[in-house]
Amino acid sequence: MAAEARGRRRLVTAIVLLALGGAAAVALTREKPALEVDTLEVARGEVREIIASASAGEVVPARRVTVRAEIAGTVIKVAKKRGERVSPKEVIVAFRADELAARVDQAKANKETAEVAVKAAETRQVAAKRAKERADKLSAGGAISPAELERLDTELSATVHALDQARAAQRQAVAAMKLAAITLDRTEVFAPYPGVLQDVFAEMGVQTAPGAALFDLIDDSDLYVEVPVDEGDAAKIALGQKVRIEIDPGRGISVDGHVRFIPPAVGRSVGSGALDPTAALKKDRYLYVEVEPDRRELLRIGASVNAEFLVSAKADVVYVPTHTVIGRGVERQVYAVKNGKAVTMRFAAGLTAWDRTEVLSGLEPGTVVIANLNAKGLAEGVKVKLRGRGAPEGQKTQGAPTAEKAP
């Protein structure tokens, strides 16, 4: 009985081993599922080499100034509000002027007093000259003593000095009157040029100090775009170079322009026009290029925009999307789809941009290439199918990126 039991157990074990071996054999011979991929096609079109701005540029007006108070005073008039357009020499803010007007009147009175003092000094000098002339004649005949002659000479010199002093006081009074008039004029603050008020800081009844901001004025008759370019790309920027300004990338709104000014130094300038002395500490290594837009009406001052500088372009050439390319240098390769498998194809590359790479030879328009190079398991000879619906070779998958026509 024991021998029969052992025999049955051995038989069961053998059957189990045979079953497991068969399953393993089936698993080894079963085909792996095809790798799902996205595809694009080699096409013809324009390839552009561009330089993108290092960061967002800014729409800048030709002139912008923050007008500040030159005197201390109380605001009694604010004639305009933010957003309103102003004309040159139009009063925007006015200060209380009664005290300053009184100082002007006082300065005028002092000037008149000084003028009277000059006339009196001139009269005394004329009288002293005549007395001296008579004394000289009398002295020739011995009719006057030397002491008297000396006294008259001293008196004449004194009148000369008195007249000089009166005239100096007159000049001082005139200067004081001008200064009082200038100070009075500063109680009315004008727009230095035509434009639009970005903001008005002055408020009625508020006491301001010299240097306090009153209003911010923008000259919107002309504007440009200031674009930061990495210093490593500076050599590729030239005057007159074409630039595409993206106003709203999400909606594809853009305008063309050209380079109108290239600064001589790297780093942003401060309002005074001098280079920012802290630029080196800030690691500011951008070249701030001025771009003239072709259509100013589409740009809003202060808005941030992106810009692309056109370095070179080739029209109607064979190209492949750059993100599908493997390798660098002249000879590169892509994964193409042939007979349902991934195969590597080498090609000679020409002009290369961030979105497109020119094909000099090795690839023909219509060649289907794999777009998602990061697909796990992608290798030479791997079976592939289009993602989502197993479409036939060469058919684009829905939602996969496509090769769009160059702008």
| Together in a domain, 84 and 201 | yes
Residue 342 lies in a domain: yes
| Together in a domain, 303 and 354 | no
| Together in a domain, 341 and 358 | yes
User: How many independent structural domains does the chain possess?
Assistant: 4
Domain boundary among 211, 246, 274: 211
Residue from 368, 374, 375 nearest 343 by CA? 368
Domain boundary among 311, 346, 371: 311
Residue 290 lies in a domain: yes
Render each residue's pLDDT in the chain as its tens digit; 407 residues. Answer: 555 656 566 665 656 566 565 555 444 445 668 888 888 889 999 888 888 887 888 888 888 889 999 989 889 999 999 889 998 888 999 999 888 888 888 889 888 898 998 999 889 989 888 888 888 878 777 777 888 878 888 888 888 898 899 899 999 989 999 998 888 888 889 899 898 998 999 899 899 899 999 999 988 888 889 989 888 888 888 899 899 888 876 666 788 899 999 988 887 765 444 444 554 445 668 889 999 898 888 888 888 888 888 888 888 899 999 888 988 777 789 998 888 888 999 999 888 887 889 899 888 998 899 888 888 888 888 888 877 433 333 334 333 333 333 33
CATH code, domain with 276 = 2.40.30.170
The whole-number pLDDT of residue 19 equals 58
Distance (Å) of CA 357 to CA 21, 54, 325, 343, 378: 52, 22, 8, 19, 22
Residue 399 lies in a domain: no
Residue 88 lies in a domain: yes
Range(s) of the domain holding residue 298: 52-63+223-311
The whole-number pLDDT of residue 319 equals 92
CATH code, domain with 338 = 2.40.420.20
The answer for residues whose C-beta is within 8 angstroms of residue 15's C-beta and 6 or more apart is none
Residue 400 lies in a domain: no
| Together in a domain, 157 and 232 | no
- CA dist., res. 164 & res. 285, Å (int): 63
Residue 403 lies in a domain: no
| Together in a domain, 261 and 336 | no
pTM: 0.57
| Together in a domain, 305 and 346 | no
